[in-house]
Amino acid sequence: MTNDLLEKATEFIRTCYKELNKTDRETAERLVEVREQIHSQGFYEHTAAELEYGAKAAWRNSNRCIGRLFWESLHVIDARTLSSEDEMIDALFEHIRYATNKGHIRPTITIFPQESPHQTVRIWNHQLIRYAGYQTEDGIIGDPHSIAFTKACIDLGWEPKFGKFDVLPLVIQINNNQPKLADIPEEILLEVQIRHPSLKGFEELHLKWYAVPIISDMKLEIGGITYTAAPFNGWYMGTEIGARNFADENRYNMLPPVGRLMGLDFKNSASLWKDRALIELNTAVLYSYKEDGVSIVDHHTAAQQFKKFEEKERESGRAVTGNWTWLIPPLSPAATHIFHQSYNNEMKTPNYFRQPKPY
Ligand code: ARG
């Protein structure tokens, strides 16, 4: 166990210190320190510089992410000294505020204390900001993706509102203690009302979405150390909202209402009514975020940026890994270069990994 950790730590420190242009002497001295910490307590602690590099490298290694060109710009908030749920909830509020930046979104990660024999911190939310989903006798209300978590919140005492877009509370847990719930203050919450530049009546669909996707249920692994609570965000690519969250039949399932609005021929799938509805839905998402000054990227631009990332990595002598099935956009995939090549889906570390749900 400690041998495995020592091996992972050593490999990480070597790569990290090389990329940070540290001297051989600094690297050797740090390796001695790390070894001593592991032998005396069974784990070691990253320096602030190692943590920052590790979080950025984890983004760079995220095979499913098309937005990796910007990995170096990640803003890393070191929240490892926080010890109470209340302090952590304040840190989550601060993350939301800082990352949202009135719409000029800043890629940000907040890193809570590492997993240790004495302590595990978990955020129960899938994303810090997410809409509730309710299974009722007359069907589902809200986001079906959130049904299980919403039920967990209600069991913990959260008052359900039964709306289509109810922002869920933050739920944070230390060890096996009773999880703490906190509503996100309205002042720090940015949402975009979805409207269409030309389609009459589109706003009557009453669609909206939140500005910042902040993944909060994955663990960050750096040099054999695990951070079970390390929420991170970038900005949205339009298709995530317009071609999946709003369009999937098991999500908001909006293609029929949009198609109806457009007066399309539902009887005949060869009328391509779904495809036409998808295009207008995605046009509306990009238009609304842009007009509100909220950062968003269309899938063509994102693919070009990814191409630049691939080139930069090649120049740096690193092999790019990727998961083709996730990298291709769900709209017009073959209109991007990604579709026409293959990627090695090997998982390098540091990286972000899925972990079991705590509820
Ligand atoms: N696909 C997820 C959603 O629609 C968000 C995943 C992260 N996306 C991002 N652009 N960083 O909510």
pLDDT tens per residue across span 18-68: 999 999 999 999 999 999 999 999 999 999 999 999 999 999 999 999 999
Cβ-contact 195, 220 below 8 angstroms? no
Q: Cα separation of 220 and 12, whole Å?
A: 14
Q: Which residues on adjacent β-strands are paired with residue 236?
A: 296
pLDDT for residue 64: 99
Residue 27 Cα to ligand 1 middle (Å): 37
| Cα of 240 from ligand 1 centre, angstroms | 6
Two tokens, residue 2 = 């400690």
Report yes or no: 243 and 274 within 8 Å, Cβ to Cβ. no
Q: What is the DSSP string of 114-163?
A: PP-SS--EEE--SBSS-B-EEEETTEEEE-GGGHHHHHHHHHTT------
What percent of the chain has pLDDT above 70? 100
Q: What is the mean pLDDT of the chain?
A: 98
Mean pLDDT of 65-82: 99
- pLDDT value of residue 134: 98
Kindly tell me if the per-residue pLDDT of 305 is higher than 90.
Answer: yes
Torsion of CA 22, 24, 30, 33, to 10 degrees: -170
Question: At 126, is the pLDDT very low, low, confident or very high (cuts 50, 70, 90)?
Answer: very high
Nearest CA to ligand 1 atom 5: 213
From 318, 320, 321, 324, select the one nearest 336 (Cα to Cα): 324
The binding-site residues of ligand 1, defined as CB within 6 angstroms of any ligand atom, are 213, 215, 234, 236-237, 240, 245
Looking at residue 202, its pLDDT comes to: 98
Question: How many angstroms separate the alpha carbon of residue 213 from the centre of ligand 1?
Answer: 5
Instruction: Reply yes or no on whether the pLDDT at 210 is more than 90.
Output: yes
Please, which pLDDT band fits residue 1 given cuts at 50, 70 and 90? low
Whether the predicted pLDDT of 174 surpasses 90: yes
pLDDT tens per residue, range 143-165: 999 999 999 999 999 999 999 99
- How far is it, in rounded angstroms, from Cα 356 to Cα 226? 14
Q: Judge contact between 288 and 103, C-beta under 8 A.
A: no
By the 10 Å C-beta count (0-12 exposed, 13-18 middle, 19+ buried), 325 is classed as exposed
Please give the single-letter amino acid code of residue 174.
Answer: I
Q: Which of 235, 273, 280, 310 is catalytic?
A: 235
Residue 240 among the catalytic residues: yes
Distance (Å, whole) CA 149 – CA 129: 13
Atom of ligand 1 nearest to the CA of 244: 4
Nearest to 329 by CA among 247, 244, 235, 207: 244
Token pair of 228, please? 């079970």
**Residues facing residue 133 across a β-bridge:** 142
Q: pLDDT (tens digit, 9 = 90+) per residue, 92-105?
A: 999 999 999 999 99
Report which residue type is found at 302: A
What percentage of the chain carries pLDDT values higher than 90?
99
Say what angle helices 273-291 and 255-262 make with each other, to 10 degrees.
100
Of 134, 136, 138, nearest to 153 by C-alpha is 134
250-296 tens-digit pLDDT: 999 999 999 999 999 999 999 999 999 999 999 999 999 999 999 99
Ligand 1 centroid to Cα of residue 245, in Å, is 10
Q: At what angle do helices 24-41 and 2-19 cross, to 10 degrees?
A: 160
